Structure 1
């Protein structure tokens, strides 16, 4: 290109020009209508011929009466789920998205390309993509590197379809398993959540950060009143920072996350989408977040229709964008009114410009102007390598909670097994709520699944002749949409047919046959749990909260009948939350918690049950003794029980717990640095883990600390380090830990993270309850230290 021709090319189109210069040049050329167009999305069923259709929903995108061509004439910030909105072959979906992109580039004045986002929590939520296990499974592996590989695979698939932003991971710290979205979390410990999130984000975004991860839901969504979706949150500033903000802080500072999504609820009366203290004060000013803040679906409109803090949709838009929002998702019903709010003096063009700059900066940084189209020939959303990663997660995440010796099953043809239960032969029972087949339930569509169910996998391993089957009961007779409303409260006289109670089966007709099948077998395996489904189309998932930890429907009656036969009974629990077994926990021969193990979950469960593989999963959340014990988490503060001895309180299976086919012993603790200075200190210690069993296995070592005396009440123990340790039968491994003093911080009354001098109890064990080694560590110094912005957030564990 000649110098003369180069000078004719607008600065914003020159790829070799610094991003800030390109942003400034483009912004200076934009009209107010073109600026506002960059601050919202559009939700369409895209067509390759350009004849796109509106996708409207009462809760997310109402018909605004604006013709599509009129809406798109000034450009567009994002398009919502171009391949995930409806069932479309990936190649055809890419062609349709490219058609919209061509319209933006060739038929708008400035030719600004549009970003596309998709859901990707458990794999791309589109047709044919790999169906990964749930985030609870990710966390149950206690294997951050493996979670990073999951992110890498999903990122590669996202790039192949032209997806620029993935709406994951979820960093909500679980507080109450009755909450339907518990299945989307990494569990109840903020450090474990933060570490797993960092690896997922780094894997998804890659070194170039050309696919933006979206941290959600900012913040404390999981601490909702009564564990109800969208309900208010009541937490103080210390707890907010130490428990709920910590994972976000880690993912922003350590993983350079590209986007954040605020939550639906209010905290102390201030909805998150209108909370400038959080979105601007904490995220951008305090942490230095440089990415995009995108709205949760319809959340801007909810400021007007639900929270009642805005007088109309224009006011709702003004409040959100004044608070720091960059893009309204999934549509445009509020952002289109920003011009009106500007005229009313409720927002300034300076504020609008700041948001537009951030949107444009993101588009330049991900290379969208240079590579706006996806290559149809390179679409790749399914591969053997991707399925292998999904299989590995499933294998490493199943938690063995009890085993009286019945496992592993005999694989020599001498044992007959009765497979029983509603989740034994249902492919959807293996999947979490944000998988494509589950999402289709509410749209009236269905997706055929070729997944191998646990029943099929066990027959493949043990032989057809040795495996009988009886469903016994159903959880839900017919999978369909079931929410009476979304979101908000249901009036007390509402008793619509579509409510949750009407969906859950009460049919006990087939339980007798199931019990007979168990009586005729050497071992019974009962598969129980729940079914993911949005807004009460299932028993767990977004909007599918519960008031009980009893098994949904008549599953407990089924289990009771099988146990009454006297046949040794293995219980395999799948789903998005732990359930109680009606007091039968001590009568079952073995108990597994598999969560939602994904498309390879059936094969993984069969391999573990017959002993081809060893169990290595550990609980990422406690299993409360009953619904009356919740909220219960391992890292509670003292006196949570209420009375000196409260038998209903606590957890039968605590955070971090899990068994295997071998046993381990801990010994030879050596504290190299029992004291460390408050300014720059690091504790170093080591210990030995011995495999005292007859086969190799994986131990998950866990390091907890407790602050003996502090200026505010502290938890009874907190996870500060962990690692998977593989040890051969009869062998030993030496584990070395380096723990920065910074990690002993907590939040003071100013909202700052501080470390105080003093003594700490060091606890090393195989769960939060099973502690095998103890010591005392001391932080030395004369004064409390306030941590800087870039404090040391992670510990280091190495194994000889």
Structure 2
């Protein structure tokens, strides 16, 4: 037994012993946090046509020495646990047997953007982070994060690529559903509870490491476009509120968050260098490390170094401000900036060459590898926590009490904007759209024609603009107003029958006409049909308050300042609005 394999020795001693045994190639492999897929039966992917991921699992683990992976796709609990154990066995058979750290995007809500998160599937279903913010209860957020921790642990996830604590300050930005809304103070309170629920008081064998994102706050996007794409790369602060966006990150650091992810955005018009935050030394080293005192792992957002094919479409690397640099030069600049790891990349040979040429000293790579290895030791991955029990996973994921807690949180998060005839009583005749008729039948007589209904129940989603390529189409961006033809159809229904309208707010919808003419208006942030109907019929209480304001017009949105929360003129509903029901 080597010292690093001895669980009785101090973590620092084990890290230094292992680091001293590693080749440059093995060190370089630690600096990449890439993606994996699994077969439906829980076996690793050992053949690929290159359409989604270019390399197989054995090639990444055995040949390239990677040990940090983000699992894509939705799967059964038992199958995920089996797959996790299989890739850990692959890693154990390598020269040094360094275990895999498995991560995931959020998996506990209703999202349909696989570029940022996954639907709950087998896991317990809760409202999106916006819904947790609508309730505004740190204890609820702690219980949610603790549930996530227990379900993740059972299948082998040891790093959560969340929470996302950007402020929702630009109404058009597509990533708001993953945030805690526009209030910096509330976000700071909730992230503290979230990190504590995932990690505990300190990182240990029962923890899931929290990778907080997107430093230093990704909300102030010019025109609300997202920096996954070239036309959305600029991040601006016309209101001068840069410091406000840092407040949640200060709270996350104080809570002990283990990891931090800088965003893609390229700051414009500030005293920061005009390069993406993952390349920005003033932000990563100067602000995050030196000023704020963060000592954990810094992992870039996905795809900063190399161009990629996503869903069969070519996408350039998100090397904003350094597009002219080679892949090796980009990697060197990011390491110089202070990052430890490259998300979504798998080119360790680039780091080996940088060390061999002297452009990046091996000692600099050692600094990052120490942080990454230390976390593996603290999480118990070298010892008792390397493998999981598939039977236990099947019993834990989606457990009845977890599912019930998520369902209760859905109901609490619903936000009643206007109440009109609510709560409904008796068994009225119901006409429903975008509601499961079988669910509605438990509350009233479902009819096929609004003319024969006492009430209609209509579920809507926040409007968005279609975008030209498949990947970008998942990021709902652009106008927040309903197109004229769709609005006319909706208003026609509202005129025909008293209608309870529920709008899923992944962004702040522009809906003044609907608010005026609906019999009642409710906002949801991820809730089942029965959760909505329970509230509408008074069987459950809605506690939600708007986590951002709802603008009156797109003209008001376009005139607002991207870094200033709740900055639109004369909103239909202000931030914090909500009626008790």
Q: What TM-score results when the alignment is normalised by the length of structure 1?
A: 0.63
Q: Is the 8 A contact 2:463 2:480 kept in 1?
A: no
1:105-144 matched pairs, under 5 angstroms: 105-106=92-93, 108-120=94-106, 122=108, 125=118, 127-144=121-138
1:165-314 matched pairs, under 5 angstroms: 165-209=159-203, 210-230=207-227, 231=232, 232-235=234-237, 239-241=241-243, 243-253=244-254, 255-268=255-268, 269-301=274-306, 306-307=319-320, 309=322, 310-314=324-328
Give the CA deviation at 1:248: 1.0
Give the CA deviation at 1:622: 0.5
- In structure 2, the gaps of 5 or more residues are 110-116, 269-273, 308-315
Equivalent residue of 2:475, what SS? coil
1:439-588 matched pairs, under 5 angstroms: 455-462=437-444, 466-469=445-448, 517-530=449-462, 543-546=475-478, 548-551=479-482, 554-565=485-496, 567-581=497-511, 583-588=513-518
Q: Is the 8 A contact 1:556 1:582 kept in 2?
A: no
What is the distance in 1 between the residues matched to 2:467 and 2:188? 27
Give the CA deviation at 1:87: 4.9
What is the distance in 1 between the residues matched to 2:571 and 2:471? 22
What is the distance in 2 between the residues matched to 1:98 and 1:305? 33
Q: Is the 8 A contact 1:169 1:214 kept in 2?
A: yes
Give the CA deviation at 1:530: 4.2
What is the distance in 2 between the residues matched to 1:634 and 1:330? 28
Give the CA deviation at 1:75: 3.2
2:313 is matched with none
1:685 is matched with none
Give the CA deviation at 1:287: 2.3
Instruction: Count how many residue pairs are aligned between Structure 1 and Structure 2.
Output: 545
Return 18-27 or 337-346, whichever deviates more. 337-346
Q: Is the 8 A contact 1:40 1:332 kept in 2?
A: yes
Q: Is the 8 A contact 2:239 2:563 kept in 1?
A: no
Is the alpha carbon distance of 1:340 and 1:90 closer, same or farther for their aligned partners in structure 2, counting shifts above 3 Å?
A: same
1:424 is matched with 435
1:89 is matched with 76
What is the distance in 2 between the residues matched to 1:616 and 1:401? 11
Equivalent residue of 1:164, what SS? strand
What is the distance in 1 between the residues matched to 2:286 and 2:339? 12
What is the distance in 2 between the residues matched to 1:534 and 1:291? 39
User: Are residue 337 (structure 1) and residue 350 (structure 2) matched?
Assistant: yes
What is the distance in 1 between the residues matched to 2:201 and 2:555? 46
What is the distance in 2 between the residues matched to 1:609 and 1:185? 26
Is the alpha carbon distance of 1:259 and 1:533 closer, same or farther for their aligned partners in structure 2, counting shifts above 3 Å?
A: farther
Q: Is the 8 A contact 1:136 1:620 kept in 2?
A: yes
What is the distance in 2 between the residues matched to 1:610 and 1:51? 48
Match of 1:33 among 25, 28, 42: 25
1:761 is matched with none
What is the distance in 1 between the residues matched to 2:219 and 2:127? 20
1:325 is matched with 339
Give the CA deviation at 1:537: 8.8
Give the CA deviation at 1:93: 2.7
Q: What TM-score results when the alignment is normalised by the length of structure 2?
A: 0.86
Return 49-58 or 263-272, whichever deviates more. 49-58
Q: Is the 8 A contact 1:134 1:184 kept in 2?
A: yes
Give the CA deviation at 1:534: 11
Q: Is the 8 A contact 1:634 1:655 kept in 2?
A: no
* RMSD value, Cα: 3.0
What is the distance in 2 between the residues matched to 1:568 and 1:368? 58
Q: Is the 8 A contact 1:518 1:562 kept in 2?
A: yes
Give the CA deviation at 1:55: 8.3
Give the CA deviation at 1:237: 10
2:424 is matched with 409
Equivalent residue of 2:157, what SS? coil
Is the alpha carbon distance of 1:623 and 1:33 closer, same or farther for their aligned partners in structure 2, counting shifts above 3 Å?
A: same
Equivalent residue of 2:182, what SS? coil
Q: Is the 8 A contact 2:284 2:339 kept in 1?
A: yes
- In structure 1, the gaps of 5 or more residues are 1-8, 426-454, 470-516, 642-648, 662-800
Give the CA deviation at 1:265: 1.4
Give the CA deviation at 1:236: 7.0
Give the CA deviation at 1:78: 0.6
Is the alpha carbon distance of 1:57 and 1:51 closer, same or farther for their aligned partners in structure 2, counting shifts above 3 Å?
A: closer
Higher RCO structure (Cα 8 Å, ≥6 apart): 2
Give the CA deviation at 1:308: 5.2
What CA deviation, in whole Å up to 9, does each residue of 1:662-696 have, x standing for no partner? xxxxxxxxxxxxxxxxxxxxxxxxxxxxxxxxxxx
Equivalent residue of 1:358, what SS? helix
2:360 is matched with 347
Give the CA deviation at 1:188: 0.6
Give the CA deviation at 1:580: 2.6
2:70 is matched with 80
More helix by share: 2
Q: Is the 8 A contact 2:169 2:564 kept in 1?
A: no
What CA deviation, in whole Å up to 9, does each residue of 1:590-618 have, x standing for no partner? 11111222xxx222211111112233211
Match of 2:543 among 604, 608, 616: 616
Give the CA deviation at 1:570: 2.1
What is the distance in 2 between the residues matched to 1:536 and 1:572? 29
What CA deviation, in whole Å up to 9, does each residue of 1:632-658 have, x standing for no partner? 5999599x78xxxxxxx2212111111
What is the distance in 1 between the residues matched to 2:485 and 2:305? 40
